[in-house]
């Protein structure tokens, strides 16, 4: 028999850590290659970690609700082949995991107080052990709310806040539940905990509703905070007349939907225009890398798709090589994956510039936060009918839209961004039945 390791995968180009949301297996389970082992949450996506081997689950090293760096060992599998593994092999393998605060190896069961779990084990994360020691908590007297009865940091924090700290010889104590049990399925990433702790002193009075912050929301918050702290944001806006574009699109949409089976949205025209302009202004398609600026060859456009409690940014790869029809199809497919929970890490990786359809909410002007480590984000606002003074002095009702652009001033300056927006405006205002094909 041989012992194989499963490590925290990199679920995205800029992802450096992930949170174990839920184990899908237990110690002793037989698994086949590609079987899902765990659900993992990152700042970009929720995904399943598949098995790389056929074998039996030997040890679950990572704890639910804890955050681990990419490459950290999260579990071990016993496979056929090789010599017999010594009884201490799982612990020895765990000790080889990267020594980071978020992914430290849990103490061996013999060294930890006994805890009740479904598999009879007694494993506590380093954070739980440290917290229990600091506050004199007898872990054997705590009833855990994690999978299999595991004790989590949230359990201990609830006890500490309530003042009901169990001592040796006392009756078992269940942590105070501030929210419905379902909320425990979305723990917050450990990396964001210090920021959350600094903002917890909020008075709560009768009638207030306390909403638990999900792991996805915590990860989004951490990434947005990083972007605002690191990138000096600047902002600019341009007004575009899309009367001819809307007339062209409206003349096609019914037949297009009947023929192709999906919608021809105005957003597809905007994405295509941005992709074309990025080819002409490649500096916009860049990223800050500390001692250098990386100008990306591929034009991969991230598009923001919102759910009720989170925002995802799937990527349209090589958007400059696609037709308006192809872009419309991909927008629909990616949005469908987000809302059905089937978005993969591959769908989220490789983005070089973000286009956000804020107009879908009725917004007419907004200031977006850059999708780190990209250098800019473009907000497409709501298309509204307005009275406009034309070049000949006449007043006409036109379809107008604002394009709002946030830029990283370390990478981009106003001149190049102004010329880029001017080119996007030119492309959109010249989109018509005579000048444009969707195929």
Active site residues: 409, 413
- Return the closest-CA partner of residue 139 out of 127, 119, 124: 124
| Other CB atoms within 10 Å distance of the CB of residue 9 | 18
Cα dist from 412 to 71, 239, 407, 419, whole Å: 34, 21, 7, 12
Rounded-to-integer distance, Cα 394 and Cα 291, Å: 53
> 136 near 165, Cβ under 8 Å?
yes
Q: Taking CA 144 as the corner, what is the angle to CA 94 and CA 17, rounded to the nearest 5 degrees?
A: 45
If one counts every other C-beta atom within 10 angstroms of the C-beta of residue 259, the result is 10
Residues near 188 by beta carbon (within 8 Å), at least 6 away in sequence: 19, 65, 196, 213, 214, 215, 218
CA distances from 268 to 331, 363, 384, 398 (A): 8, 18, 18, 20
The SS3 call for residue 226 is: helix
Residue ranges of alpha helices (H) inside 204-283 are 215-230, 243-260, 266-280
What distance in Å separates the CA atoms of residue 351 and residue 192, rounded to the nearest whole number?
24
What is the rounded distance in angstroms from the CA atom of residue 65 to the CA atom of residue 84?
32
The rounded distance, in Å, linking the Cα atoms of 108 and 125 is 10
């Amino acid at each position: 028999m041989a012992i194989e390791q499963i490590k925290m995968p990199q679920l995205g180009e800029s992802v450096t850590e992930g949170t174990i949301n839920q184990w899908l297996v237990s110690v002793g389970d037989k698994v086949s290659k590609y079987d899902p082992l765990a659900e993992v949450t990152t700042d970009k996506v929720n995904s399943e970690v598949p098995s790389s081997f056929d074998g039996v689950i030997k040890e679950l090293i990572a704890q639910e609700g804890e955050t681990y760096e990419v490459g950290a060992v999260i579990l071990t599998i016993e496979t056929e082949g090789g010599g017999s593994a010594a009884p201490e092999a799982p612990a020895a393998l765990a000790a080889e995991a990267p020594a980071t605060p978020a992914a430290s190896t849990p103490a061996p069961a013999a060294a930890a107080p006994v805890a009740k779990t479904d598999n009879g084990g007694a494993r506590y994360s380093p954070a739980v052990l440290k917290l229990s020691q600091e506050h004199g908590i007898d872990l054997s007297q705590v009833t855990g709310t994690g999978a299999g009865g595991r004790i989590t940091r949230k359990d201990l924090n609830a006890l500490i806040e309530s003042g009901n700290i169990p001592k040796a010889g006392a009756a078992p104590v269940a942590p105070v539940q501030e929210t419905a049990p379902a909320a425990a399925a979305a723990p917050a990433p450990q990396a964001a905990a210090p920021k959350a702790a600094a903002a917890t002193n909020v008075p709560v009075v009768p009638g207030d509703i306390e909403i638990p912050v999900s792991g996805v929301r915590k990860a989004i918050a951490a990434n947005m905070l990083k972007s605002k702290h690191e990138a000096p944001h600047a902002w600019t806006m341009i007004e575009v007349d899309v009367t001819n574009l809307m007339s062209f699109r409206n003349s096609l949409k019914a037949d297009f939907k009947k023929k192709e089976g999906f919608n021809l949205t105005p957003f597809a025209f905007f994405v295509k225009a941005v992709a074309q302009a990025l080819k002409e202004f490649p500096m916009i398609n860049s990223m800050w890398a500390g001692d250098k600026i990386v100008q990306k060859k591929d034009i991969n456009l991230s598009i923001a798709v919102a759910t009720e409690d989170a925002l995802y940014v799937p990527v349209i790869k090589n958007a400059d090589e696609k037709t308006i029809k192809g872009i419309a199809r991909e927008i629909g497919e990616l949005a469908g994956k987000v809302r059905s929970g089937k978005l993969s890490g591959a769908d989220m990786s490789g983005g070089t510039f973000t286009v956000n359809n804020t107009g879908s909410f009725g917004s007419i002007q907004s200031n977006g936060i850059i999708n780190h480590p990209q250098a800019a984000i473009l907000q497409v606002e709501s298309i509204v009918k307005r009275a406009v003074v034309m070049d000949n002095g006449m007043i006409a009702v036109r379809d107008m839209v604002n394009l709002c652009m946030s830029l990283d001033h370390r990478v981009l300056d106003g001149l190049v961004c102004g010329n880029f927006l001017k080119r996007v405006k030119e492309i959109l205002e010249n989109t018509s039945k005579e000048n444009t094909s969707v195929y």
